[in-house]
Copies of this chain bind each other. A is one copy, B any other.
């Protein structure tokens, strides 16, 4: 018997706010909850921490089980621990914001869950305090992305400057000067220009770029101002 036995024990969950970008809109990935209470309603991707599992490993596992994706950027941002947040039994939830390349998501890997992408601005009401989680996650993502190049995690291998610009505009809900923003992006030496153009969204076509992995890793920890402070 533990010498800590006087102290209470709790269920501990992880919840992922999973962001994706389809080239036009910032989206979140939601699932139909398969257990009571609130069965069938939309929910974040979450699950309980296993007996011998670290919280961050649990968060990765949950996303892998439900989407099949294992190459994921995630970051813990807040603990939700209001005693009454889950009406059935008190659960302390460790929340992560999670960024995935939307193209890597293979629908219905696990058929027990039906998942769907929703534009952030147009998502259904979620169970428990999940709406609050999403709100807070977006705020933390904005904070992070104003100073670190995280948003590239949302893009496919090849992407264009106009695509990145739209992504930043979506995340912050602002209009950027495309000329200055392009100059900024290129000056960071994060991008490698490819000899190939994306021709769907314009007649002239926009050059594809890919990440310079080495510089990306080096500059990730450093603080680089991507978005002017007042907007954050």
On whether A49 and B81 interact (CB within 8 A), knowing A9-B10, A230-B222, the answer reads: yes
Q: Which B residues lie within 8 Å of A12 (CB)?
A: 9-10, 12, 92
On whether A35 and B230 interact (CB within 8 A), knowing A12-B92, A81-B49, the answer reads: no
Q: Which B residues lie within 8 Å of A50 (CB)?
A: 8
On whether A2 and B88 interact (CB within 8 A), knowing A11-B9, A55-B79, A223-B229, the answer reads: yes
Complex-state Cα separation, A179 to B4, whole angstroms: 54
Query: Residue A196 at the B interface, CB < 8 A?
Result: no
Query: Residue A53 at the B interface, CB < 8 A?
Result: yes
Contact present for B223 and A89 (CB under 8 Å): no
CB distance from A43 to the nearest CB of B (A): 14
Q: Mark A122-145, 1 if CB is under 8 A from B, else 0.
A: 000000000000000000000000
Contact present for A55 and B76 (CB under 8 Å): no
Copies assembled: 2
A interface SS class: loop
Complex-state Cα separation, A99 to B23, whole angstroms: 43
Query: Residue A94 at the B interface, CB < 8 A?
Result: yes
CB distance from A4 to the nearest CB of B (A): 5
Complex-state Cα separation, A232 to B55, whole angstroms: 27
CB distance from A232 to the nearest CB of B (A): 6
Query: Residue A187 at the B interface, CB < 8 A?
Result: no
Complex-state Cα separation, A20 to B91, whole angstroms: 33
Q: Which B residues lie within 8 Å of A157 (CB)?
A: none
Which of the residues B2, B92, B229 comes within 8 Å of A222, measured between beta carbons?
Answer: B229
Complex-state Cα separation, A88 to B2, whole angstroms: 7
Select from chain B the residue with minimum beta-carbon distance to A232. B223
Complex-state Cα separation, A36 to B3, whole angstroms: 8
Query: Residue A52 at the B interface, CB < 8 A?
Result: yes
8 contacts between A and B (CB under 8 A): A2-B88, A2-B89, A3-B88, A3-B89, A4-B89, A4-B91, A53-B83, A55-B81
